[in-house]
């Protein structure tokens, strides 16, 4: 030490290790509540251990995906509501591997904050845990980083990685899609986790609303509408995969219909979508009207009320619709597969 110089510390530089450990400790029971039979060990190891059970699978393939929540976090910060964004991230990741026919095995999280807020971090972790339990997925590990100078106090960011498994004979990709397959749309719960930069501009800059303002046109507060939890489609859809009733699926996320449906189209085929086939929820009508947003831009940025598209062979359409009806799942016939060049056409 230099004589006369005040001793420096990590806490003095803006990183409170004790606060981080307390935040994680508060969520330990919630994390343990997600542990499935495959989890080996307990919370706190350098790496999470998992013993998968591949019995009954002919040719198991691991499927992995990583994602974030985007600027939906700005709404969560403004509203002071932090237990839903963790659910958003888990459900988003579950859907991203579900479209390939996979069921989730475990999830890993990353939380970066400007200044450690124990209560906020604990809420986010509880949201992760709740969604993992709902999806039968273990919250196997993660990292919480305090990064002053990178994030401002009160700001934070989230990322998550999911690992699942699919039996190769059940793997869904473009190879199964055929001309005249039907497109069935399953309803979203709101914006899910995409389009928030435009949505925030409409609500907060154009309409000059605050998170707690009630909006009669949508029947909810701004925060209530914008923080609605991203749906997981695992429960109604995985049984359809296991029965071999689907050709493919598309999760309608960033890029909307034009960018996501082509990901499951083979060469020589187009997807024809009828945007008037379903009633757009009031939230999307509000965004379109108040923001003077074109229909084409709406369909490119938002899900417009359809969060998952099932590509269904005509031979199994009746069975799929019957299974969805029995599960209490709403669905809409929104289009079909036609000859073309891997594009989306709107009718």
Report pLDDT digits (tens) over 208-219: 999 999 999 999
User: Strand 269-273 vs strand 344-346: parallel, antiparallel, or unpaired?
Assistant: parallel
Structure confidence by residue, pLDDT tens digits, 199-209: 999 999 999 99
* DSSP run (H or E) holding 236: helix 234-242
pTM: 0.94
> 174-346 adopts what CATH topology?
Phosphoribosyl-aminoimidazole Synthetase; Chain A, domain 2 (3.90.650)
Picking from 59, 58, 62, 66, the residue whose alpha carbon sits closest to that of residue 50 is 62
Q: How far, CA to CA in Å, does 15 sit from each of 8, 18, 21? A: 12, 9, 12
Separation of alpha carbons 12 and 113, rounded Å? 16
- According to the model, what pLDDT value does residue 140 have? 97
Q: Are 245 and 312 in contact (CB under 8 A)?
A: yes
Give the rounded percent of residues in the chain with a pLDDT score beyond 90.
90
Please, what is the average pLDDT of the chain?
A: 95
Structure confidence by residue, pLDDT tens digits, 148-204: 999 999 999 999 999 999 999 999 999 999 999 999 999 999 999 999 999 999 999
Q: Are 135 and 94 in contact (CB under 8 A)?
A: yes
Separation of alpha carbons 335 and 347, rounded Å? 9
According to CATH, where is 3.30.1330.10 located in the chain? 17-168
According to CATH, where is 3.90.650.10 located in the chain? 174-346
* Whether residue 15 has pLDDT greater than 70: yes
Picking from 141, 150, 78, 144, the residue whose alpha carbon sits closest to that of residue 116 is 144
Q: How far, CA to CA in Å, does 238 sit from each of 61, 167, 260? A: 16, 12, 20
> 17-168 adopts what CATH topology?
60s Ribosomal Protein L30; Chain: A; (3.30.1330)
Tell me what percent of the chain is helix, strand and coil, each rounded to the nearest 5.
Answer: 35, 25, 40
């Amino acid at each position: 030490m230099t004589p006369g110089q005040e001793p420096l510390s990590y806490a003095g530089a803006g990183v409170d290790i004790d606060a981080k450990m307390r935040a994680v400790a508060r969520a330990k029971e919630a994390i343990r509540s997600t542990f499935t039979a495959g989890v080996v060990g307990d919370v706190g190891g350098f790496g999470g251990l998992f013993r998968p059970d591949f019995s009954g699978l002919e040719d198991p393939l691991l499927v992995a995906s990583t994602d974030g929540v985007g600027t939906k976090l700005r709404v969560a910060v403004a509203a002071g509501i932090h237990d839903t964004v963790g659910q958003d991230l888990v459900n988003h990741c579950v859907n991203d591997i579900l479209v390939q026919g996979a069921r989730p095995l475990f999830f890993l999280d990353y939380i970066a904050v400007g200044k450690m807020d124990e209560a906020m971090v604990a809420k986010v972790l509880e949201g992760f845990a709740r969604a993992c339990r709902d999806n039968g997925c273990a919250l196997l590990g993660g990292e919480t980083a305090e990064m002053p100078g990178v994030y401002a106090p009160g700001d934070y960011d989230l990322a998550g990685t999911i690992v699942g498994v699919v039996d190769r004979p059940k793997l869904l990709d473009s190879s199964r899609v055929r001309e005249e397959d039907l497109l069935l749309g399953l309803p979203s719960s709101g914006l899910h986790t995409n389009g928030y930069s435009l949505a925030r501009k409409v609500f907060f800059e154009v309409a000059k609303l605050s998170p707690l303002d009630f909006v009669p046109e949508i029947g909810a507060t701004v925060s209530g509408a914008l923080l609605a939890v991203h749906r997981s489609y695992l429960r109604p859809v995985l049984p359809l995969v296991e029965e071999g009733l689907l050709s493919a699926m598309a999760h309608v996320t960033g890029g909307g219909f034009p960018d996501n449906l082509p990901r499951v189209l083979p060469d020589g085929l187009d997807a024809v979508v009828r945007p008037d086939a379903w009633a757009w929820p009031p939230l999307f009508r509000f965004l379109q009207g108040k923001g003077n947003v074109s229909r084409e831009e709406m369909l490119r940025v938002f899900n417009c009320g359809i969060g998952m598209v099932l590509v269904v062979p005509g031979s199994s359409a009746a069975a799929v619709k019957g299974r969805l009806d029995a599960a209490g799942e709403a669905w809409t016939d929104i289009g079909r597969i036609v000859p073309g060049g891997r594009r989306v056409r709107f009718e």
